[in-house]
Amino acid sequence: MHKGVPVLLLLWCACFLCVFFCVSCTLMTAVRVFVFVFVFVAWCCCCCGLDAAAVAVSASSSSSSSEPVLARLVRDNSNCSFESHYPYQYVTYKTSEAPVIDGSLDEPLWQEVAWTRDFLDISGPDFPTPRFKTAAKIRWDDKHLYIGAYLQEPQIWATLTKHDSVIFHDNDFEVFVCPDGTSHYYKEFEMNALNTTWSLCLNKPYANNGYENSSRVFGKHGWDDPGLRSGVYVDGVLNDVNVVDKYWTVEIAFPLTALAYNTTANVPPTPGEYWRINFSRVEWHVFKNGSHYSKVPNTPEDNWVLAPTYKVAIHRPEYWAYLQFADTHVNGTSAVKDPDWTIRFLAMQLYYAELSFKMKSDRYSADLAEVEQYTPIPGALTRGCTGKISVSVDAEGKHYSAHVPDVSRRRVAVIRDDRYLIVHDT
Ligand SMILES: *[C@@H]1O[C@H](CO)[C@@H](O)[C@H](O)[C@H]1NC(C)=O
Ligand SMILES: *[C@@H]1O[C@H](CO)[C@@H](O)[C@H](O)[C@H]1NC(C)=O
Ligand SMILES: *[C@@H]1O[C@H](CO)[C@@H](O)[C@H](O)[C@H]1NC(C)=O
Ligand SMILES: *[C@@H]1O[C@H](CO)[C@@H](O)[C@H](O)[C@H]1NC(C)=O
Ligand SMILES: *[C@@H]1O[C@H](CO)[C@@H](O)[C@H](O)[C@H]1NC(C)=O
Ligand SMILES: *[C@@H]1O[C@H](CO)[C@@H](O)[C@H](O)[C@H]1NC(C)=O
Ligand SMILES: *[C@@H]1O[C@H](CO)[C@@H](O)[C@H](O)[C@H]1NC(C)=O
């Protein structure tokens, strides 16, 4: 089981013998015995300590990896950054001049900042590269978040003209903003090349029984992104099947107060703070059907996103990109990773473990030992990357709230069965 231990024992024995014989040659018998006993005891303690740690690690890990224990100990204890899971991050610079919202990204405030990386297939980088390029830029001021996007497109096509239609039935550009990173009360916005828009507020993800608050559903009592402005610029001719188009660009001014509605986010944000954001582009396959475009029958849409959620499911805010706010000094700020990432990430690991446990057992569990085997990344919760995790569950096992403190116990991530995730000082 512990392949590493015999090697360790041999190493320690060799060490011990060396030290003992070197030292003993030069010493009197009494001192020799003392040194023997001292080194022997020290050796026993070390071996026991390592062995106990090794057992702890292998007990806490459900993987049957044959990797040497010592190597695993070193790696697991030195690396709780879960770097490879850290989402894409974009630094957004404040602007002292507001853009004209006409769809054209010609102002210096757009030209002077970097594009996001090109969008990827929603299922992740191992899936086909999108057929057309999509990228975005983001600026902000005390009142607005400004988004500009470029969508390469040879067949610019749009049909929906009624505000708050389900825009993704056309080709569209979509924005998702979760200002406080709780995955509750996030906002969604979709628009097509006709500048037709749809604004939604989700109290929580659909998978958690969230609902769409929009004027589509609730009429004038519904959420409608008050104060939002948008524009489209088309390089080509919209809906003309005889023209090979180049691209369309969109420009959107989101009022910050609307985005932050019913969240704990600060308005305006302070440089250094993070919001979570995601973009998506829905692209249908269309063909020239006489004088107009029609969707290719029985062909699903493509979903191209800034940060893959690894499933065709955009409503997983924990996978969304980090938007790091910065002052007006363009390119003067380096990206700084969220120092709470480890506990945020592990709180979500616990969330998914509890979810899988509930599917099997029809209840949530307060016993980490019982749940831990369902952690998507085996051993992530028990390898010592957090302080003591505590889960409290109601009597029927229907709801829970879990505390995931960092190793220094200064910060704690609190996750609930409804996916509400908040991090605060202890
Ligand atoms: C942590 O592990 C990841 C891969 O799991 C690796 O890319 C990264 O370099 C490691 N970081 C440290 C500080 O060891
Ligand atoms: C900032 O960086 C981007 C990307 O590297 C570059 O395109 C842009 O010109 C830079 N802007 C300034 C003002 O240096
Ligand atoms: C929808 O959002 C509006 C705010 O725009 C709010 O007044 C209303 O109560 C919400 N409706 C529901 C059902 O959540
Ligand atoms: C886009 O639509 C908005 C209303 O949602 C309107 O105010 C704006 O003038 C339109 N802009 C363009 C460029 O079509
Ligand atoms: C604001 O959010 C809380 C939960 O965080 C919810 O109970 C409340 O109904 C929400 N208020 C509105 C107006 O949507
Ligand atoms: C092609 O256009 C015709 C006329 O508008 C329409 O009835 C037909 O359904 C379209 N074909 C497809 C495959 O969509
Ligand atoms: C957007 O969300 C989807 C689904 O949650 C995810 O796959 C994708 O990576 C996210 N994109 C960005 C830029 O965060």
Report the nearest atom of ligand 7 relative to the CA of 123: 7
Question: For 239-256, how does the pLDDT look when each residue is reduced to its tens digit (9 = 90+)?
Answer: 999 999 999 999 999 999
Average pLDDT on 127-131 reads 84
How far is the centre of ligand 7, averaged over its atoms, from the C-alpha of 26 (Å)? 69
How many A from CA of 212 to the centre of ligand 3?
10
416-425 pLDDT tens trace:
999 999 999 9
Residues 303 and 310: their CA atoms lie apart, in Å, by 11
Most confident of 12-21, 136-145, 285-294: 136-145
pLDDT at 49: 40
Compute φ and ψ for 120, nearest 5 degrees. Answer: -115, 170
pLDDT band for 157, please (50, 70, 90 cuts): very high
| Position 34 confidence tier, pLDDT thresholds 50, 70, 90 | low
Indicate the range of 161-165, 245-249, 301-305, 337-341 predicted with least confidence: 301-305
The predicted structure's pLDDT at residue 342? 97
Distance from the alpha carbon of residue 90 to the mean position of ligand 2, in angstroms: 13
Burial 393-406 (b: 16+ CB within 10 A, else e): beeebeebbbbbbb
**Atom 10 in ligand 4: which residue has the minimum CA distance?**
231
User: What is the band of 129 on the pLDDT scale with cuts at 50, 70, 90?
Assistant: confident
| pLDDT greater than 90 at residue 262 | yes
Nearest residue (by CA) to ligand 7, atom 6, is 309
| Backbone angle region of 95, left / alpha / beta, with phi > 0 → left and psi within -120 to 50 → alpha | beta
Give the mutation target among 105, 190, 195, 215 for probing the ligand 4 site: most ligand atoms within 8 A of CB: 195
DSSP H/E element including 323? strand 321-326
Which of the listed CATH numbers 2.40.40.20, 2.60.40.10, 3.20.10.10, 2.60.40.1190 matches domain 83-326? Answer: 2.60.40.1190
Nearest residue by C-alpha to atom 2 in ligand 7: 314
Mutate to test the pocket of ligand 3, among 218, 224, 262 (most ligand atoms within 8 A of CB): 218
Cα distances (Å, whole numbers) of residue 309 to 68, 124, 194, 415:
33, 7, 28, 19
Structure confidence at residue 304 as a pLDDT band (50, 70, 90): confident
Of the two residues 307 and 248, the one the predictor is more confident about is: 248
Q: Over the chain, what is the mean pLDDT?
A: 85
d(CA 122, CA 119): 9
Is a pLDDT exceeding 50 seen at residue 155? yes
Q: How confident is the model at residue 24 (pLDDT cuts 50, 70, 90)?
A: low
Mean local confidence (pLDDT), 359-363: 96
- Per-residue model confidence (pLDDT) at position 313: 65
Beta carbon of 98 within 6 Å of any ligand 2 atom: no
CA distance 90 to 335: 7
Q: Whose atoms come closest to the Cα of 177: which ligand?
A: 7
Write down the pLDDT at residue 11: 52
Which CB contacts under 8 angstroms, 24+ apart, belong to 4-7?
4/54, 4/68, 4/69, 4/70, 4/71, 4/72, 5/50, 5/51, 5/54, 5/69, 7/68, 7/70
Report residue 268's pLDDT band, with 50, 70 and 90 as the boundaries: very high
CA-nearest residue for atom 11, ligand 5, is 262
Write the residue with the smallest CA distance to atom 3 of ligand 2. 114
Encode burial over 8-38: b for 16+ CB neighbours within 10 A, e otherwise. beeebeeebeeebeeeeeeeeeeeeeeeeee
Pairing mode, strands 302-305 and 212-213 = unpaired
pTM of the model: 0.81
Lowest mean per-residue pLDDT among 60-69, 86-95, 198-207 = 60-69
Give the whole-number percent of the chain exceeding pLDDT 70. Answer: 80
Counting ligands in written order, the one closest to the CA of 337 is: 1
Question: Within a 10 A sphere around the Cβ of 425, how many other Cβ atoms?
Answer: 6
Query: Does the pLDDT value for residue 40 go beyond 80?
Result: no
- Does ligand 5 come within 6 angstroms of the Cβ of 264? no
Task: Tell me which of 3.30.1300, 3.40.50, 2.60.40, 3.40.1440 is the CATH number of domain 341-425.
Answer: 3.30.1300
pLDDT recorded at residue 109: 98
Beta-carbon contacts of 372 under 8 Å, excluding residues fewer than 6 positions away, are 60, 62, 353, 381, 382
Alpha helices in 219-367 (DSSP H): 256-259, 341-361
CB 257 near ligand 6, within 6 Å: no
User: Residue 81: CB within 6 Å of ligand 1?
Assistant: yes
Ligand 4 centroid from CA 231, angstroms:
5
> Residues near 33 by Cβ (< 8 Å), separated by ≥ 6?
none
Does ligand 1 lie within 6 Å of residue 63's CB atom? no
Q: Please, which contacts does 24-29 make with residues 24 or more away whose CB atoms are closer than 8 Å?
A: none
- Rounded to 5 degrees, what angle do the CA atoms 277, 81, 344 make? 45
CA of 247 to the centre of ligand 6 (A): 25
29 CB under 6 A from ligand 1?
no
Over the stretch 208-244, which tens digit does the pLDDT of each residue have?
Answer: 999 999 999 999 999 999 899 999 999 999 999 999 9
Tokens of 171: 């080709």
Paired strand residues for 186: 202
